[in-house]
Structure 1
Amino acid sequence: MGYVPWTCTINLYHRTNMTGGFHYLKKRGHTWFFQRAVPKDLREKLGKEQIVETLETRDLTVAMSRRTERAAYWEAVFKSLRGSLKPTSDVDAREVYKDTLECSLSADIEARSVESVETSADEPLTEFDIQQDLLLDQAATQFGQDEQGHPLAMSPQQQAKWDGLQDYRRIKRNMPASNASKYGLTISEATDRYLSRAAQKGDAQTVRQHRTTLQRLSEFVSDKPLKTLTRSDVGRFMGILETLDPAWGKSPRDSSRTFGEIRRRYSGTGRQLSDITLNRHLGAIRALWRWATTVGEVEGDCPTEGLERKISKKTAQERTYSAFDLGEIHQLFSGHLPQNHDVVEICMVGLFSGMRLGEICALRWEDIRDDEGVAFFDVDRAKSIAGVRRVPVHSYLTWLLDRRKDAGPIWPRLAEREQDKASKAVTKAFGHFKKSKGFSSRKKVFHSFRKTFITSLAGSVAQSA
Structure 2
Amino acid sequence: MAVPARSQPRLKKATIQENLYTTDQLVAQVKANERAAYWQRAFDLDRQPSSEAPSEIFQSTFESTLQRIEWIKRTHRDEEDRSSALDLLLDEHVGPYLAELGYHDASQIEPGDLPRDVEAAADAVQAAIRGSRQVPLKYQKSFSDLAEQFLLDRQRDPRDRLTAQTVGQMEATFRLFRDHIKDAALASVDRRSASDFVDKLGKLNRHWGRSPETKHRSLDQLLASAGASPEDRLSTVTLARHVSALNSLWEWAVGRGEVAGDTPFEAPNTRRAKRARVSANAPWTDDAIATYFRRVRDRSSSGLPDPAYWLPMVALLSGMRLEEICSLERSDIKSAEGVRYFDIPQGKAEGSIRVVPVHDALLPLLDIAPERGFLFPNLTPGGPDRKRSWNVGKRFGRLFRQIDGASTFHAFRKNVAQTFERERVREHESSQILGHKKAGLTYGVYSPNGLTIRQKADLIALLRVPSR
> Could you tell me whether the CA contact under 8 Å between 2:164 and 2:385 is conserved in 1?
yes
Secondary structure at the counterpart of residue 353 of structure 2: strand
User: What SS does the aligned partner of 2:380 have?
Assistant: helix
Correspondence 1:452 to 2:415: yes
State percent identity of aligned pairs.
Answer: 22
Is this contact kept in 1: 2:346–2:352, CA < 8 A?
yes
Q: Deviations over 1:130-174 (max 9, x none)?
A: 431211135558xx322436567333332222222233233x3xx
Tell me the distance in 1 between the aligned counterparts of 2:299 and 2:126.
70
1:148 matches 2:104: yes
Instruction: State the 1:418 CA deviation.
Output: 3.4
* C-alpha distance in structure 2 between counterparts of 1:113 and 1:371, whole Å: 79
Report the Cα distance in structure 2 between the residues aligned to 1:366 and 1:138, rounded to whole angstroms.
Answer: 77
- 1:195-210 aligned at under 5 Å gives the runs 195-198=151-154, 201-210=161-170
Would you say 1:188 and 2:144 are equivalent positions?
yes
Higher mean C-alpha deviation, range 349-358 or range 207-216: 349-358
2:257 counterpart residue number: 296
Shift of 1:283: 2.3
Query: Who is 1:18 aligned against?
Result: none
Does the Cα contact within 8 Å between 2:318 and 2:416 map onto a contact in 1? yes
What is aligned with 2:94?
136
Task: Give per-residue Cα distances to partners, 1:182-224, cap 9 Å, x unaligned.
Answer: 3333222222233344566243333333332321121011111
1:26 and 2:24 correspond: no
Q: State the 1:232 CA deviation.
A: 0.4
Matching residue's letter, 2:358 = S
Aligned residue in 1 for 2:8: none
The 2-side partners of 1:127 and 1:457 are apart by 80
TM-score (norm 1): 0.64
Please name the residue that 1:390 is paired with: 353
How far apart are the structure 2 equivalents of 1:353 and 1:36?
Answer: 83
More strand by share: 1
Contact 1:358 1:419 in 2 (8 A): no
Shift of 1:111: 6.5
Distance 1:67 1:165, change over 3 A: closer
Are 2:429 and 1:429 equivalent residues in the alignment? no
Residues 376 and 457 of structure 1, relative CA distance in 2, 3 Å threshold? farther
Is this contact kept in 2: 1:24–1:67, CA < 8 A? no
**Cα shift readout 1:383-436 (whole Å, capped 9, x = no counterpart):** xxx55741324324784998466xx9985853476326754412222234546x
Q: Tell me, in whole angstroms, the C-alpha distance in 1 between the residues paired with 2:124 and 2:84.
A: 16
Q: Please list every run of 5 or more consecutive structure 2 residues that lacks an aligned counterpart in the other structure.
A: 1-15, 430-468
1:72–1:439: structure 2 CA closer, same or farther, 3 Å change rule? Answer: same
Unmatched 5+ stretches in structure 1: 1-21, 38-49, 54-63, 74-86
- From the superposition, tell whether residues 310 and 114 of structure 1 become closer, same or farther in structure 2 (CA, over 3 Å): closer
Q: Find out whether 1:109 has 2:69 as its counterpart.
A: yes
Question: TM-score, normalising length from structure 2?
Answer: 0.64
Q: Deviations over 1:283-326 (max 9, x none)?
A: 23222212222333211011124x53254499637843122356
User: How many pairs are equivalent?
Assistant: 386
Counterpart-to-counterpart distance in 2, 1:111 and 1:426: 69
Looking at structure 2, the residues matched to 52 and 164 of structure 1 have their Cα atoms a distance apart, in angstroms, of 20
Q: Distance in 2 between matches of 1:108 and 1:276?
A: 54
> Deviation of residue 372 (structure 1)?
9.6
Equivalent residue number for residue 257 of structure 1: 217
Residues 197 and 323 (structure 1), Cα distance of their counterparts in 2 relative to 1, 3 Å cut:
farther
